Structures are given as structure tokens and as C-alpha cells.
């Protein structure tokens, strides 16, 4: 009997504190806020290249190398930094044609594509310059913003303001008011970049009488943040 009593007393040392725990009665309201910042981009990334065809693979590659080197030198001559010019793709492949129900090797095709980073204000001039220098393929133009960190912070601030307005509106007329924030979570910031993947007539660009007359409209780019806030109120 004594063993049973001591066992109950021993267990009560752990059970009593659990009963004595204070229940959290804080009133909370969970709200999702969204904030966006839209700006005019100041950077463009041009994807362009050269495609060569010939009968001899070595001859095709040599011709391609000469043209690409000339284009890179020309791009640098108009103020684009060497570090802002990158090779994005290089390929060499055979060309087959069907002759009398048989595939016959008729030559080789080689291409090299570059990405060129430049100021938006210089985009038209860069496009005209590279086409006059020998580029015969233009893939795309993508626009970006140089100070994305400031956009991210501004969008978070707007999302926070949006969440608080929603919480205050939800409590409007109830007699309660917000006293603080218990928990905050910010979603990944998702920038939306403007990109154009369209055909540009290289021959028309080469025939243009003046360098820099290629129209480039940058539009805007947007950075959006989503924030989840648990507000306390009383």
C-alpha cells in the first residue's frame, strides 16, 4: 500500500505542473498582404548570334570564329564591357538532304550565340551595331533592373501596409484594435521580367541609314511580395 502511495506522489510531481500551465488567451488574426513595385528597367540583355554553312567543318568553324571575334571587338568599341559579353551557345552539326530516298551529307552548319548586357538607352545602337558587324540571328531582348534589392524591400513594405489595412478593416466596428504582431512570414519575391522572343529582320536593320534607329520599348518590370502576418488584438 505504501508503495502505491509513493508511486502516486511521484507521478503527481510531473502531472501537477501540466495542469498548472497557463492557457494562452491572446486574440489573433491572420492576414495575407500583397505588395508590388513597378519600375522602368534600365538594363537590357540581347541574345544574338551568327550561323554559318559550308562544305568543310573546319572551314565553317574558322569562318564563324572570325565573324564572332569581329563582332565582339565591335561591341566593345561602342562601350560595352568585356565582362558583359558571354557565349551562351556554340554548335556544329551536319546537314543532310534526302536524295533518291537516301540521306546524303551536303554540308555543315555552325553557330555561336552571345548575350550582351547593355543600358536600355543604348539598346537600339547596340542592335544596329551588331547586325552591321555580321550578326544574322537575333533571338530575344530581356529587360532587367540594376537595383533589384531596393525593389524587393519596397514591395515588402507595401505588402506589410496592405496586411495591416486588411486587419484594421476586418476589426472595424468590433471595438477591438490591433496591439502587435505575433508572427510574420514573407514569401519569395518574384520579379517579372519583360522578355521579347521575336523575329527581327536583320537585312532591314543593316539597310538602316543611321546607327541607333532600331526602336526598343522597355515597358516596365514588376516585383511582388506576399506576406503572412498574425496580428494580436484586444
Q: What is the CATH number of the domain that holds 71?
A: 3.30.70.2970
Q: How remote is the C-alpha of 123 from its chain's centroid? A: 19
Residue 33 lies in a domain: no
* Domain count across the chain: 1
- The whole domain housing 81 covers 42-145+203-212
156 within a domain of the structure (yes/no): no
The verdict on residue 27 lying in a domain is no
pLDDT tens by residue, the chain, 234 residues: 555 444 544 445 555 555 556 777 889 999 999 999 999 999 999 999 999 999 999 999 999 999 999 999 999 998 899 999 999 999 999 999 988 888 999 999 999 999 999 999 888 889 888 988 899 999 988 888 888 888 889 999 999 999 999 999 999 999 999 999 999 999 877 665 555 444 445 555 555 444 445 777 778 888 899 999 999 999
163-175: b (≥16 Cβ within 10 Å) or e? bbebbeeebeeee
Amino acid at each position: 500500500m505504501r508503495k502505491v502511495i509513493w508511486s502516486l506522489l511521484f507521478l503527481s510531481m510531473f502531472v501537477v505542473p501540466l495542469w498548472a500551465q497557463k492557457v494562452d488567451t491572446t486574440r489573433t488574426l491572420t492576414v495575407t498582404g500583397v505588395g508590388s513595385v513597378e519600375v522602368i528597367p534600365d538594363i537590357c540583355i540581347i541574345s544574338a548570334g551568327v550561323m554559318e554553312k559550308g562544305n568543310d567543318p573546319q572551314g565553317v568553324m574558322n569562318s564563324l570564329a572570325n565573324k564572332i571575334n569581329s563582332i565582339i571587338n565591335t561591341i566593345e568599341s561602342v562601350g560595352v564591357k568585356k565582362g558583359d559579353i558571354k557565349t551562351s551557345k556554340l554548335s556544329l552539326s551536319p546537314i543532310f538532304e534526302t536524295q533518291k530516298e537516301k540521306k546524303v551529307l551536303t554540308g555543315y552548319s555552325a553557330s555561336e550565340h552571345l548575350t550582351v548586357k547593355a543600358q536600355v538607352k543604348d539598346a537600339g545602337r547596340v542592335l544596329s551595331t551588331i547586325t552591321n558587324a555580321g550578326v544574322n540571328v537575333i533571338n530575344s531582348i530581356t529587360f532587367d533592373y540594376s537595383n533589384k534589392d531596393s525593389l524587393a524591400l519596397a514591395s515588402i513594405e507595401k505588402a506589410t501596409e496592405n496586411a495591416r489595412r486588411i486587419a484594421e478593416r476586418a476589426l472595424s466596428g468590433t471595438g477591438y484594435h490591433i496591439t502587435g504582431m505575433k508572427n510574420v512570414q514573407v514569401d519569395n519575391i518574384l520579379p517579372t521580367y519583360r522578355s521579347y522572343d521575336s523575329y527581327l529582320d536583320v537585312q532591314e536593320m543593316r539597310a538602316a541609314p543611321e546607327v541607333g534607329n532600331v526602336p526598343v520599348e522597355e515597358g516596365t518590370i514588376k516585383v511582388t511580395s506576399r506576406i503572412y502576418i498574425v496580428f494580436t488584438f484586444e
